[in-house]
Structure 1
Amino acid sequence: MDEQRTLVGKLAAMADRGDKPAIIAFGEKDAETISFAELDARTGRVAASLSARGLDRHAVVAFMAEPSPAFMTAALGVLRAGLVVCPMDAQLSGGALEHVLQDSGAVLVFADRERAEKLRAHGKTPEIVLLDAPASEPRSLAALTAKAADRDVPPFAPADPDNVAALFYTSGTTGRPKGVPLTHGNVSAQLQALVDMRLFNDEDRMLTPLPMHHVYPFVLGFFFPLSFGMPVILPYGLTGPELVRAMSQGQVSVIAGVPRLYKALVDGIEAKVKASGALARMIFGLLLGLSMKVYKRTGIRLGKLLFGSLNRRLGGRVRFLASGGSLLDPELGWKLEGLGLPVAIGYGLTETSPLLASKQLDSREMDSVGVPLPGVELRIGKPPRALGGDEEARACAGGEIQARGPGVFKGYLHLPDKTAEAFTEDGWFRTGDLGCIDDKGILRLTGRASTLIVTQGGENVQPDEVEEACESHEYIRECGVVERGGSLAALVVPDLNALRKAGEGDLREAVRRALAEIGKRLPSYKRLADFAITREPLPRTRLGKIRRHILEQLFDRAKSGDAEAMGPAGPMDVSDMGPDDQRLLENDAARTVWLWLAERFPDRRLTPDTSPSMDLGIDSLEWLNVTMVIRERTGVDLSEEAIGRIETVRDLLSEVRGHASQEQAGPVADPIEQPLEVLSDTQKRWLKPLPKSKRILALLMSLFVKTVFYGFFRMRVSGRENVPTKGPFVIAPNHESFLDAFAVAAALGYRRSRLMYWAGWTGIAFRNKFFRFVSRLGQAVPIDPTSGIRASLAFAAAVLSRGDSLGWFPEGRRTRDGYLQSFKPGLGMVLARYPTTVVPVAINGAYEAMPPNKAFPRLFTPISLTFGKPMTPRELMARGKGNTEAERMMDGLRQVVKELGNLE
């Protein structure tokens, strides 16, 4: 028997590598390192314990857990005992889980404790061995291997190339999972092909961050590196910091990842650059563009030189990224190359063990998946259905990709009809993918035959093309395209944080505008005719592919207004969460906050992805109450900086966990009663009067602003006599555009403006050095109505408490549509403590002069200001409605401003 055509020889050679690290698994604080010699000993004990059970040869042993040393040890032990490994999706549940257990005929299941509970809910579950339990637990892997320590380790069970080594289940993107048996010969051929590609070397270390129930990470991220003598690095979690930690400390040189992982990596880098300011963003863009252009034209890689600090942060040893599981967007590939992270792209399916073709590192054909692997033959068959549309689209689609070779499986488990459909009459495997092969033998994919949409006009559309275009808009986090009535429609998951930062109030209208903008850049036949919105993440496989048969159902529910499209009310079951979220809730403080949120919002859908602002209605003022409750129940005091980082419930729980171990300070200062204790020394500087050296500049600026508004905007002012000649007082205008504060200052003139401190939004008035200098001359204080509410209220209280005057926009943000918005109660809370005369101001024309979508104002657009008569807080309360004094006060002020300017 040729052992090179089975996995037996590969496993037997492990012990020869001695003390060289085989697995390095990162934990919360430390990392566990297992040598090849120790791994061989552990797998031997697993094999001995399994052999002692007298299991039938080739019996199926299932696995349901996240990647870990115990998982990998047990899987190798199963193969060593001559049994079949069946990795199951750790997130399987319900009917899908029951189907896989019954269809596979598993006689034993290795699982972690959490998944074991899910398995026990199915009455016919086979015996369970716990991977993460101590030896004191009789049903644990540790206990089983301890008992086997005194037994003689049996020899490696002989295997024939045609014996099944592993059983995988397709991810179920279009229906019920199908069993895919892969033989020793299939997998061994794949391992040999990878060796023949000469892509790896003896010094490589591979990061494997993906779940093992997919053949891609199981073969390429687990079996191959160990058979090649390459250490496997397992990160503690899939968050950015944990991946960077594993890459750096584990000295990773190769990553076996998927496009969604690499997109998250690039998005994180770009977000960090964007947060560093306009100059950093400009320099980064220029360097990245230069690096990409040079590589495209010459093949010379400048990325590691131009972005040396980034590469050092990732450990400084990354040679390349292996991308598989789904098609890599070429633009993303170019960016990775430009950053100094070369990409090798693989293409294949579960049924092909998995690789059929690969784009090597020396190829710049980023829109391709390269050439066939050694021993693999590819051809283009006829399309599975007639293709309509224009001639160019038909030529690009080519036809169905068909394959044959030693890695191609023999057929689906228990599904002879599906097997017959999967092969041509002459024995070629039908991949179901569409593509073409050029005269150089390079394969290009154009989509899946099963997902191809033919519109009413006969045009061919691959949904992922439209999805990628839509997801390029900052307002859209995810997009899934379906066909409805011969036209394209989409289920959209909005990016709530981007919408919040942009001040969008109408979610549906904002998404509609975003899709319309995208549509202008697409051919007419690829434009969406309809859309629906959901807050729940789109249903995907663990490798990121959309489960399209579920997508259609969700779209119809969302479109019909079914509340279940957003998910049922109440908290998400912890067992349905990903491993990182489950680990997060193991922290006592984070779990306490999660349970309190479920109690506080029983009628809302609560998941780790829930937005506190848009889904739970936690606005800036409500954060005050939330943080007080969190401190009372957990002892954690969240700073405004921490609140500013919170976009989802997951972020909130992470912040709580991060602060839980820190020693907490004493009682939190009240921003209205004790404003100066809330403000930092840096913030207090904005409250200091202007020094003489800057007063002349402030006067000159005032004269310039006055000239601009009276000259270029033909500004008309009425009721200026209503403004007191001395303070304290509050100027409270409606907020139409970024011109408003300058218009009011020009109308008041220098002498009255000098009496005042102005509320300036941090997102504009303080975003760079020049704007901060101008804001200082105008005596503006930094206000962040989104996440800096404590400091904002403290600034207002500090100004009024010492007898100065205040300019404040009660709407909290400029209008997005020209209509008057509700007035936030924050100013009312301050006025309730420091009763001060309020001068209402109505601004007209500023919205037309500079609407939200314009970077520059429209000159000679008339602007008018009307100052109303001063009113006391008590008089304002008498005009308004609300549950509290602050709400009634601000509602009354809104009514006055509305009548004053005849505003809608």
Structure 2
Amino acid sequence: MTLKKLTLPELLKNSCSKFSKNLSLNFVASGKKTYQDLYNEVVSIANHLLHLGVKKGDKVAILSANMPNWGITQFAIANIGAIAVPILPGFCSTELQNILEHAEVKVIFVSRLLAKCLEGVKTPFLEHKILINNFATMPEGCYQPEDLDKLVPDINLNNTTPLPEVSIEEEDIASIIYTSGTTGFSKGVVLTHKNLVWDARQCRTIQPVDETYRFLSILPMAHTYENTLGLLLPLMFGAQVYYLDRVPTPKLLVPAMQKIRPTVVLSVPLIIEKIYKSQVLPKFTSSKLMSKLYRFAPARKLFNRLAGKKLMETFGGELKFFGIGGSKLDGTVEQFLREAKFPYAIGYGLTETAPMAAGSNPSQTFLQGVGPVMEGVQIKINDPDKSGQGEIWIKGPNVMKGYYKRPELTAETFTEDGWFKTGDLGSFDKKNRLAIRGRIKTMILGASGENIYPEEIESIINNFRFVNESLVVENSGKLVAMVHFNMEELEKQYQKLKDQAGNYKEKINDYIEEQKQELRDYVNARVNNFSKLQLVLVQHEPFEKTPTHKIKRFLYCK
């Protein structure tokens, strides 16, 4: 793909000219929008923004569920030289207020069910609110879904008046993305047009994409992972992208995948881990005999291969690339995917790197690793220890300009010679493939100075029966596991034992205590001496998470 300039307007113009009759962005349930239709609507929304007085450098926010109009809005903003501020669904009202004020947002596009988040939010900069579902102007005080449904679209989607000439360069800011950090502080990551377009183009060096590809978008488009790989990349090469018109539950996903038969789905570990735990593993542990057979490697591989064929059918049968990023994939689940011959792939990057920096396609994956560094990116391990492990530093055209209005934080994050310090721990193997160990900030220093990586212990805990999720913290010198059990399944097992024994004396609370002890023994038999758990605590409610499904560790590490 040859572009005169690596900018979003140039990407759109090139693709809509080359693939004008191809289907572009559509809902699974309906829509036949072509690339030409897409271009016309982008120009119409861009003209409306100009009418509202939006000019180059102004900030326009998008707070929306996934839909075709999300991408249309992003390109409309870019085509007049304005700056998009994508906001992840899931930010609380206080965070939303802070983002809109900090970024000096002038206009916000918001979807029907998220509009109520704006109630009570006021800044001296925000002048216009637009309902993104049908591009209707929102009057003041109109936030509830039943009121929004009465709004009549008043923005002309046939206004294809040529846009005025605006100089948009590769180093101009395209978006400011506020990260939903697990450390509790949202930072505005400043990404240029070149950061985004270059990264999208380079992703094709990892996995080929062409006009025949069909993407199913299920991750938030405000996340740079979905935005770059799930929107810019397919549009650059004439592919189709499909969206669900409601929250992507399994009940909706299965028929959607049967209908469009996606070739690409981008995911986070949580999704495939849930599928394995709730749908695959129970079938192989339904009886003592099956459990015993599943522990026997040749039988397990056979069962996993059969389960993999079934899983492929569930995904529509034509899946070529199931991308997993955002956090580390559980080792047992990855072993299943490998033995199932499921076309999964692992990627590594950050919002600050737009996001891809390293990764593999399904033919290159290796257990608990990422893969080669992406072409054109430089990665080095700073100050490695004896095992070759150290902080990952990155250089490349995909690396952000810095943090918005935070020069001191930007200076801390970059070295004098331009390396971006990720805060992630990693190493390279003999084949020069990258593997991630964890975050520097989450590492726990043991009593004798040993490095303890809680993510590795949590991965073992999460494979124990009845465990939904966990968090390992240090408390008064003790290594403590906070565990959220699947209480429904645990109580079913308790009742089953009670019914079978007839005179089963233990109470449910005693049974839970028994499970805690079993869990502790299970984990401590599988970790080194300085990573052994001293205490297991029951976390009765699910852990509070960021909009990208990562546990907010800072709330529990006190």
Q: Same fold (TM over 0.5)?
A: yes
| 3-state SS, counterpart of residue 526 of structure 2 | coil
CA deviation vs aligned residue, 1:557-584 (integer Å, no higher than 9, x gap): xxxxxxxxxxxxxxxxxxxxxxxxxxxx
1:336 is displaced (CA, Å) by 1.6
Q: Which residue is equivalent to 1:527?
A: 532
Q: Which residue is equivalent to 1:187?
A: 196
Residue 78 (structure 1) aligned with residue 77 (structure 2): yes
Q: Which residue is equivalent to 1:442?
A: 433
Q: Which residue is equivalent to 1:512?
A: 516
Relative to 1, partners in 2 of residues 1:462 and 1:423: Cα closer, same or farther, differing over 3 Å?
Answer: same
Conserved in 2, the CA contact under 8 Å of 1:62 and 1:108? yes
Higher helix share: 1
Where in structure 2 are the equivalents of 1:386-405 lying within 5 Å? 394-396=385-387, 398-405=389-396
Which residue identity lines up with residue 67 of structure 1 in the other structure? N
Q: Which residue is equivalent to 1:550?
A: 555
Conserved in 1, the CA contact under 8 Å of 2:93 and 2:117? no
1:83 is displaced (CA, Å) by 1.4
TM-score (norm 2): 0.87
1:205 is displaced (CA, Å) by 1.0
Identity, in percent, stands at: 28
For this pair of structures, how many residues does the alignment match?
530
Relative to 1, partners in 2 of residues 1:138 and 1:539: Cα closer, same or farther, differing over 3 Å?
Answer: closer
Conserved in 2, the CA contact under 8 Å of 1:205 and 1:230? yes
Relative to 1, partners in 2 of residues 1:176 and 1:241: Cα closer, same or farther, differing over 3 Å?
Answer: same
1:321 is displaced (CA, Å) by 0.8
1:550 is displaced (CA, Å) by 1.2
TM-score (norm 1): 0.55
Measured in 2, the distance between the counterparts of 1:44 and 1:68 equals 18
Measured in 2, the distance between the counterparts of 1:151 and 1:189 equals 28
1:138 is displaced (CA, Å) by 6.7
**Of the candidates 240, 256, 264, which is equivalent to residue 266 of structure 2?**
256
Relative to 1, partners in 2 of residues 1:22 and 1:514: Cα closer, same or farther, differing over 3 Å?
Answer: farther
1:274 is displaced (CA, Å) by 4.8
Measured in 1, the distance between the counterparts of 2:136 and 2:364 equals 51
Conserved in 1, the CA contact under 8 Å of 2:308 and 2:337? no
Q: Which residue is equivalent to 2:300?
A: 289
Conserved in 2, the CA contact under 8 Å of 1:252 and 1:315? yes
1:126 is displaced (CA, Å) by 4.3
**Of the candidates 537, 542, 553, which is equivalent to residue 542 of structure 2?**
537
Conserved in 2, the CA contact under 8 Å of 1:381 and 1:402? yes
CA deviation vs aligned residue, 1:172-208 (integer Å, no higher than 9, x gap): 2113100001001111210221123343333211122
1:280 is displaced (CA, Å) by 7.5
1:337 is displaced (CA, Å) by 2.8
Measured in 2, the distance between the counterparts of 1:343 and 1:256 equals 10
Q: Which residue is equivalent to 2:410?
A: 419
Measured in 1, the distance between the counterparts of 2:220 and 2:410 equals 26
Where in structure 2 are the equivalents of 1:748-763 lying within 5 Å? none
Conserved in 2, the CA contact under 8 Å of 1:167 and 1:182? yes
Measured in 2, the distance between the counterparts of 1:401 and 1:521 equals 27
Where in structure 2 are the equivalents of 1:110-121 lying within 5 Å? 110-121=109-120
1:117 is displaced (CA, Å) by 2.2
Measured in 2, the distance between the counterparts of 1:336 and 1:81 equals 44
Conserved in 2, the CA contact under 8 Å of 1:49 and 1:148? no
| 3-state SS, counterpart of residue 477 of structure 1 | strand
Residue 147 (structure 1) aligned with residue 146 (structure 2): no
Q: Which residue is equivalent to 2:473?
A: 482
1:499 is displaced (CA, Å) by 1.4
Conserved in 2, the CA contact under 8 Å of 1:352 and 1:409? yes
1:64 is displaced (CA, Å) by 1.1
Where in structure 2 are the equivalents of 1:775-854 lying within 5 Å? none
Q: Which residue is equivalent to 1:367?
A: 368
Q: Which residue is equivalent to 1:222?
A: 231
| 3-state SS, counterpart of residue 441 of structure 2 | coil
Conserved in 1, the CA contact under 8 Å of 2:21 and 2:36? yes
Which residue identity lines up with residue 354 of structure 2 in the other structure? S
Q: Which residue is equivalent to 1:61?
A: 60
**Of the candidates 15, 18, 21, which is equivalent to residue 19 of structure 1?**
21
Relative to 1, partners in 2 of residues 1:150 and 1:5: Cα closer, same or farther, differing over 3 Å?
Answer: closer
1:364 is displaced (CA, Å) by 4.3
Conserved in 1, the CA contact under 8 Å of 2:206 and 2:359? no
| 3-state SS, counterpart of residue 5 of structure 1 | coil
Conserved in 2, the CA contact under 8 Å of 1:46 and 1:145? no
| 3-state SS, counterpart of residue 12 of structure 1 | helix
30-39 or 408-417, which moves further after superposition?
30-39
262-271 or 365-374, which moves further after superposition?
262-271
| 3-state SS, counterpart of residue 56 of structure 2 | coil
Q: Which residue is equivalent to 2:145?
A: none
Measured in 1, the distance between the counterparts of 2:216 and 2:176 equals 24
Which residue identity lines up with residue 446 of structure 1 in the other structure? R
1:134 is displaced (CA, Å) by 7.6
Higher relative contact order (CA 8 A, sep 6+): 2
**Of the candidates 199, 222, 241, which is equivalent to residue 208 of structure 2?**
199
Measured in 1, the distance between the counterparts of 2:480 and 2:520 equals 13
Conserved in 2, the CA contact under 8 Å of 1:45 and 1:153? no
1:2 is displaced (CA, Å) by 6.8
Measured in 1, the distance between the counterparts of 2:43 and 2:410 equals 36
Relative to 1, partners in 2 of residues 1:430 and 1:145: Cα closer, same or farther, differing over 3 Å?
Answer: farther
Conserved in 2, the CA contact under 8 Å of 1:422 and 1:429? yes
Relative to 1, partners in 2 of residues 1:412 and 1:11: Cα closer, same or farther, differing over 3 Å?
Answer: same
Cα RMSD after superposing both structures: 2.8
Measured in 2, the distance between the counterparts of 1:189 and 1:288 equals 45
Conserved in 1, the CA contact under 8 Å of 2:3 and 2:11? no
CA deviation vs aligned residue, 1:234-257 (integer Å, no higher than 9, x gap): 234332232222221111011111
Conserved in 1, the CA contact under 8 Å of 2:467 and 2:485? yes
Conserved in 2, the CA contact under 8 Å of 1:240 and 1:265? no
Residue 242 (structure 1) aligned with residue 257 (structure 2): no
Q: Which residue is equivalent to 1:311?
A: 312
Conserved in 2, the CA contact under 8 Å of 1:14 and 1:40? no
Q: Which residue is equivalent to 2:177?
A: 168
1:530 is displaced (CA, Å) by 2.7
Residue 232 (structure 1) aligned with residue 241 (structure 2): yes
Where in structure 2 are the equivalents of 1:671-690 lying within 5 Å? none
Q: Which residue is equivalent to 1:36?
A: 35
Measured in 2, the distance between the counterparts of 1:279 and 1:113 equals 51
